C-alpha cells in the first residue's frame, strides 16, 4: 500500500508539474503577446503623431496657397501686374516713374559733363589769350 500511495503521489506530482509548466508557458505567451501589442500600439501612436504633424503642415501650406490664389485672382494684382510687366495703365491715369539713387547719381554726372562741355565750347569761342589764361590759372577773372 505504501508503494501504491507513493505511485499516486508520483503521478500527481507529474500532473502538477505539467500544469505548472503549462501555466508558466501560458503566462509567458500572454506576456509576450501583451508586450508585442504594446510595441505595436507605440509605433501606431508615433505614426499617427507624424501623420497629424504632416497633415497640419499641409493644411498651413494649403491656406498659404489659397491666399496666393485669391491674391492672383484679385483685380488689384491684375492691375499691378499689367502696370509693372506690360507697361499698361488705366484710362486717365498718368504714370510717374521715380528714379533710383543710381539714376540720380548718373544724371548729376551727366549734367556735370554737359556743363563742362558747355564751358569748353564757350572757351573755344573766346580769344586765345583767355584760353591760355584759363589753362594756366583756371577760371576766368
- Give the pLDDT band (50/70/90) at residue 1: very low
Give the position of cell 491666399: 67
CA distance 33 to 44: 16
What pLDDT score was predicted for residue 83?
Answer: 76
Mean pLDDT calculated for residue range 127-137: 83
pLDDT in tens, 32-88: 999 999 999 999 999 999 999 999 999 999 999 999 999 888 888 888 888 777 777
3-class secondary-structure state, position 74: coil
What pLDDT score was predicted for residue 39?
Answer: 95
CA distance 134 to 126: 11
pLDDT-wise least confident of 3-12, 89-98, 101-110, 130-139: 3-12
**Contact, 130 vs 140, CB < 8 A?**
yes
Amino acid at each position: 500500500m505504501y508503494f501504491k500511495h507513493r505511485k499516486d503521489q508520483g503521478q500527481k506530482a507529474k500532473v502538477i508539474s505539467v500544469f505548472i509548466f503549462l501555466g508558466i508557458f501560458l503566462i509567458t505567451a500572454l506576456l509576450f503577446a501583451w508586450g508585442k501589442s504594446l510595441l505595436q500600439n507605440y509605433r501606431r501612436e508615433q505614426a499617427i503623431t507624424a501623420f497629424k504633424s504632416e497633415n497640419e503642415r499641409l493644411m498651413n501650406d494649403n491656406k498659404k496657397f489659397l491666399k496666393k490664389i485669391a491674391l492672383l485672382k484679385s483685380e488689384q494684382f491684375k492691375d499691378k501686374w499689367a502696370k509693372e510687366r506690360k507697361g499698361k495703365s488705366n484710362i486717365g491715369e498718368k504714370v510717374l516713374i521715380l528714379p533710383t539713387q543710381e539714376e540720380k547719381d548718373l544724371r548729376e554726372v551727366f549734367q556735370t559733363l554737359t556743363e563742362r562741355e558747355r564751358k569748353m565750347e564757350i572757351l573755344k569761342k573766346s580769344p586765345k589769350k583767355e584760353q591760355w589764361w584759363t589753362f594756366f590759372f583756371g577760371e576766368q577773372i
